[in-house]
Structure 1
Amino acid sequence: MALESLDTSTALITSDIVLFGLLAATLGAIFWLASGPTPFWKKFFAWVPALLLCYFIPAFYNTVGLIDGENNSLYNPIASRILLPAALVLLTLSIDLKGILRLGPKLLFVFVAGTVGIVLGAIVSFQVMEWVHPPAVAGDTWKGMAALAGSWIGGGANMVAMREVYEVDATLFGQFAVVDVAMASALMATLLFLANRSAQIDARSGADTRAIDEMKARIAAYEAENARIPTLTDLMIIIAVAFGLVGLAHAISNPLAAWFARYEWSARFSLDSAFVWVVLTSTLAGLLLSFTRARRLESAGASKIGTVFLYFLIACIGMQMDFLKLADRPELLAIGVIWMSVHVLVIWGAARLVRAPMFYVGVGSMGNVGAAASAPVIAAAFHPSLAPVGVLLGTVGYATGTLIAYFVGQILRVMAGA
């Protein structure tokens, strides 16, 4: 797809190049202000995380018609197909796998609880709306909810897979896509806000944060011992490793997806999706490099460059959000609110049960709802060294999202009497 958009959008800005410049300038302005050039901005960003603005300012541009967040090529293919896998490579390249394993079974328990919360949330929200406002769940609404379950357990690829499996109407699918973005953005905004206050929350709840503190200290010590001012050679090697592996991932993803597509069972695990293979191979490549001398690139700023890519991805996700589209079927938003509330209650209860820290709640929740694109962002909001934990949990959903969402769809089909 050409970088210059050819659509007939009525937005003020229709050029992808101009849109790229606007997003880059917006991100730069946000982080410059977040650095605290004046006392006002120091106080402002003490309460409003910079990451939150990276979502909602592009969403505001889209809502008021300044840009067209959907009809452009910045998110797909540039951000999602190029920058996301590059970020995964650079964030996992410096991973301390042994340290992550030391975080223990509590993290996996909270993550699984988040998945259970999504399944229960679908059932509860459908039943509640059938009692309160039956038209909201009439007809094929259950099909759209099955597709949404695919997104909130796995990711976009799983959501599309559920659309194909249940033959979801394009309009209904689009409406649930708006609910998806709105609720996921609201959840991320809440988690980003809580991340800044995680220490106080953990202290009040009596959470055991020793494993996380040890990992942070170990990463900090490693960085202190190996940090250096990056040279031009360092930066070029980092870029070469990141985008070279992205190219390799794309080169082998289509053949792999085509090979697995010959087997009917592969669709249940999204193994027939080329994008899933891009994510999996990029993550695996980064993990393998973490056991080699390539890990030393972290001391030259590999993860920081990866984080830059992630922030641009965040802005591209945010620009697709249009608050006004929810007015078409506002009852679907009510379904999303009930659904997400159940998820939050279940994962919060599970965390309190095992005295898990707030970080486990954040990364476990977004590992389900946001998958590999958003989970590392939330993890990094708690501490940059924890981003790889989000990457790992986010990719788990891709393998299980389609199968579990299919199971959810079958339950909803019975409840709808279809």
Structure 2
Amino acid sequence: MIRNDAAVLGILMVILAAIFYTATLPGAWKRFYNVIPPLLLCYFIPGLLNSFGIINGSSSQLYPVVSKFFLPACLVLFTIGMDWKSLGRLGSKALVAMLVGTAGIMIGGPLALWMVGLASPATVAGEGPDAVWRGLATIAGSWIGGGANQTALREVFQPSDRLFSQMVAVDVLVAEIWMALLIYGAGVSARIDKLLGADSRQIEEVKLHMDAESKANERNPTVRDYIFLAAAGFGATGFAHFMGEIITPYLSQNYPWLEKYSLTSTFFWVVTIATLVGIIMSVTPLRKLEYVGASKLGSVFLYVLVATIGMQMDLGAVADNPGLFAIGLVWILIHAIILVIACKWLKIPFFFLAVGSQANVGGSASASVVAAAFHPSLAPVGVLLAILGYAIGTYGGYLTALMMQWVSNN
């Protein structure tokens, strides 16, 4: 077993590099990644190393360090690039589709937990760290925001490592099935728009505007730019930790009843404050840091975080409770039904339905992939909506978790 954390970190980075390199290769590799998404390997290859005893995720200090420093910085770097004017140019229908999708996740989680619990009480059983709602809370964070939000809620609600391993499998498998359906729908979007009664001419206007803005503003980053990115990400992280250590003891001493809502968790306040700082920065000139790669650097942090999460997974635990997949499938089905009904009623084009949904369920990477399936120039639309998801993911996931806790206890 490899116990040296420096060696383990090196192995994880080489694994990530190998995945990203082979994902760009044609031929057999392309066909392989059409079936097995790269993100899944980023979780499961470190999980295999842990499951076979090559590394020991439970004794390593990599995850505590990465989650403490990289996670809040990641949230800041994702939210700092939020362009409110561009979001406004997308029109109300884009934001409505995104927020309806968020509502579908928030409603679908507690409802799916209740429905599956009626049919199979054993599936949703569990106490303490093994309480199923705690694990589902991490999926809520992932499906409203992304991996960083998922990890934030994991730290807040503290599901067991075994339960979290199962939830990662549910999250990735169900989300990828849904993404495949959306990409298929992109190929027949004209037919779907006709069924929805929607006019897609606005999409062409959005496409031309986003293409022009991206070309006009993007530039190669300098060392100075990277220093500024690090200052924004880690400066906000330091401030969030500083404030969290003041707020948490005060609430614990004066309002101990808030513990049942996890409001006495230091990490809750760290990620909440870091996200808020990122949102505030997005309405200042600091938003221009996005043009030198703020979200790209945030993605690097996120994938390192994903790999360190994966190295704690016990893949043998995934098969212990297959009923959890039923919760995931019912959950995504409720999300889809609510979205389709709203888009039919408001005559929202399928493009906004698909990208708004994937900005919730999949995050910026997969949302941009779905947007690009309609046209490559539309990929930034997916990123913009996903950034909004990152901004509200921790908050929305937290409220969803509280509703699932109520369902589980009643």
Give the structure-2-normalised TM-score. 0.79
Q: Provide the aligned length of Structure 1 versus Structure 2.
A: 374
Unaligned runs of 5+ in 1: 1-11, 164-169, 367-374, 412-418
Partner Cα separation in structure 2 for residue 19 and residue 241 of structure 1: 28
Q: 2:315 aligns with which of 311, 320, 323?
A: 323
1:26-175 alignment to 2 at 5 Å?
26-36=15-25, 38-78=26-66, 80-100=67-87, 102=91, 103-130=94-121, 144-154=131-141, 173=160, 175=162
Partner Cα separation in structure 2 for residue 127 and residue 141 of structure 1: 21
Deviation at 1:363, TM superposition (A): 3.3
SS of 1:388's equivalent in the other structure is helix
2:144 matched to which residue of 1? none
> Does residue 397 of the first structure (1) align with residue 396 of the second (2)?
yes
Deviation at 1:224, TM superposition (A): 1.1
1:305 matched to which residue of 2? 297
Deviates more, 1:336-345 or 1:397-406: 397-406
Partner Cα separation in structure 2 for residue 319 and residue 191 of structure 1: 26
Partner Cα separation in structure 1 for residue 280 and residue 361 of structure 2: 26
The answer as to whether partners of 1:151 and 1:401 remain within 8 angstroms in 2 is no
The answer as to whether partners of 1:13 and 1:19 remain within 8 angstroms in 2 is yes
Q: 1:177 to 1:247 in 2, by over 3 A?
A: same
Partner Cα separation in structure 1 for residue 305 and residue 77 of structure 2: 15
Q: 1:255 aligns with which of 226, 246, 256?
A: 246
Deviates more, 1:220-229 or 1:81-90: 220-229
1:184-195 alignment to 2 at 5 Å?
184-191=171-178, 193=180
**Percent identity between the two aligned chains:** 30
Partner Cα separation in structure 1 for residue 367 and residue 232 of structure 2: 23
Partner Cα separation in structure 2 for residue 138 and residue 388 of structure 1: 34
Deviations 1:382-418 (A, max 9, x none): 446333122023122254144313311222xxxxxxx
Deviates more, 1:396-405 or 1:239-248: 396-405
One-letter identity of the residue aligned with 2:164:
A
One-letter identity of the residue aligned with 2:228:
I
Deviates more, 1:64-73 or 1:249-258: 64-73
SS of 1:94's equivalent in the other structure is coil
Deviation at 1:215, TM superposition (A): 5.7
The answer as to whether partners of 1:85 and 1:282 remain within 8 angstroms in 2 is yes
1:360 matched to which residue of 2? 356
Unaligned runs of 5+ in 2: 142-149, 344-349, 371-378
Deviation at 1:287, TM superposition (A): 1.5
Deviations 1:10-66 (A, max 9, x none): xx2222111110111111111122222x54334444554332322222222223322
SS of 2:276's equivalent in the other structure is helix
Partner Cα separation in structure 1 for residue 219 and residue 167 of structure 2: 42
1:275 matched to which residue of 2? 267
Q: 1:317 to 1:160 in 2, by over 3 A?
A: closer
The answer as to whether partners of 1:69 and 1:320 remain within 8 angstroms in 2 is yes
One-letter identity of the residue aligned with 1:184:
D
Partner Cα separation in structure 1 for residue 135 and residue 399 of structure 2: 14
One-letter identity of the residue aligned with 1:252:
M
Deviation at 1:310, TM superposition (A): 1.3
Partner Cα separation in structure 2 for residue 138 and residue 233 of structure 1: 53
Q: 1:341 aligns with which of 329, 339, 355?
A: 329
Q: 1:218 to 1:63 in 2, by over 3 A?
A: farther
Q: 1:210 to 1:25 in 2, by over 3 A?
A: farther
Partner Cα separation in structure 1 for residue 50 and residue 202 of structure 2: 42
Partner Cα separation in structure 1 for residue 191 and residue 311 of structure 2: 37
Give the structure-1-normalised TM-score. 0.78
The answer as to whether partners of 1:30 and 1:53 remain within 8 angstroms in 2 is yes
One-letter identity of the residue aligned with 2:165:
V
Partner Cα separation in structure 1 for residue 202 and residue 337 of structure 2: 20
Partner Cα separation in structure 1 for residue 151 and residue 292 of structure 2: 33
1:224-243 alignment to 2 at 5 Å?
224-243=215-234
Q: 1:264 to 1:52 in 2, by over 3 A?
A: same
Partner Cα separation in structure 2 for residue 242 and residue 401 of structure 1: 27
Deviation at 1:362, TM superposition (A): 2.7
Deviations 1:125-160 (A, max 9, x none): 222125xxxx66678599723433443445566667
